[in-house]
Amino acid sequence: MNGDRHAAVRPTLEAVAALAGVGRGTVSRVINGSPKVSDRARTAVLQAIEELGYVPNRAARTLVTRRTDTVALVVSETQQRLFDEPFFAGTIRGIGSVLAETGLQLILALAQTQEEHQRLEQYLTGQHVDGALLISLHGADPLPGRLEELGVPTVLGGRPVGLAPYSYVDMDNRGGARQAVKYLVSKGRTRIATIAGPQDMGVGVDRLAGYRDALLAAGLPEIVTYGDFSEESGMTAMRTLLAEHPDVDAVFTASDPMALGAIRVLKENGKDVPGDVAVIGFDDSPAGAHSSPALTTVHNPSEAMGRQMAHLLVSRINGERLEQPVVILDTHLVIRDSA
């Protein structure tokens, strides 16, 4: 009776160790993919695992396949930014739609501080994931380079500042901004300001460059303020613009939330939008379509971006050579009532 009961019990780590003639710690190291195990011990442990049918969790299968069927999405932002800004929702929707077809699981990791990045690096390089998707990188973040060095396939969303990653997906931020400002010029606006995004991000740099391209071509002066893509920063920047440049007649903002913040401040100050000041955003978010006035904006193909990122990563995980490791998506102006 006793023997029967034990026969039905799943084999233990100890049983694997006893059969392989090694310590429990050696079995753990083999299962977790540690290099600090001799080939002889690893072979003995793998044979014992097979013979006993020991399956602790996905890690055991990973020993054979080297696959975890898990992909990490790393967002270098706060939770508030992640849930407040429409860009992230669209991108994650796109990523999810592709991964759902492949059977890969998506885990979300938020990392802002250096300590969080270091902890995350250890996790991502510890054979817990098959690959990583990184969005909203700030500055010359070393994480993508470290992941590639350590053999973790990585695809970035957005061109980072000061880095030349192997594979990334971006949109034509510069072209989109240029188109928006050219439209304001065509409407006879001559005092066109911008509320630019953070300059430690490629998206912030490129949208400001597009604004400058259009003003240079038109021979108009630059009026530049900065925000962090949030509505609050758009309000603060608009107050600064009205105080320092009361004759401003148009504002191109580097995100829809900043545009909505700017419109709020303009209304509070008795300005008509677009009569006195025209406003253009960048994102084509649902909130912009339903604002009053409805927001003229640059369509940002965030969902397509997420899909492309996921396709590239799946190809890399499968060991395929990428014909086009860098993908740039088109943007276009959506004309509504605010400009």
Query: pLDDT digit string (tens) for 218-237?
Result: 999 999 999 999 999 999 99
pLDDT of residue 68: 82
CA 314 from chain center: how many Å?
A: 16
- For residue 7, the model assigns a pLDDT of 42
- Spans in the chain with pLDDT lower than 50: 1-8, 61, 64
121 contact partners, CB below 8 Å, separation of at least 6: 143, 146, 147
Q: Give, in words, the CATH class of 2-65.
A: mainly alpha
Q: Which residues contact 183 (CB under 8 A, 6 or more apart)?
A: 280, 296, 333, 335, 339
Do 60 and 31 contact (CB within 8 A), yes or no?
A: yes
Domain 173-301 has CATH 3.40.50.2300: yes
Model pLDDT, residue 8: 46
Torsion of CA 161, 163, 164, 170, to 10 degrees: -40
Q: What is the pTM of this model?
A: 0.80
Per-residue confidence (pLDDT) for residue 32, from 0 to 100: 67
Give pLDDT, residue 256.
Answer: 96
Q: Where are the domains of the chain?
A: 2-65, 70-170+302-327, 173-301
CA nearest neighbour of 109 among 147, 66, 139, 57: 147
Domains 2-65 and 70-170+302-327 share a fold: no
What's the confidence (pLDDT) of residue 4? 41
pLDDT of residue 66: 65
**70-170+302-327 has which fold?**
Rossmann fold (3.40.50)
> Are the C-beta atoms of 196 and 211 separated by less than 8 Å?
yes
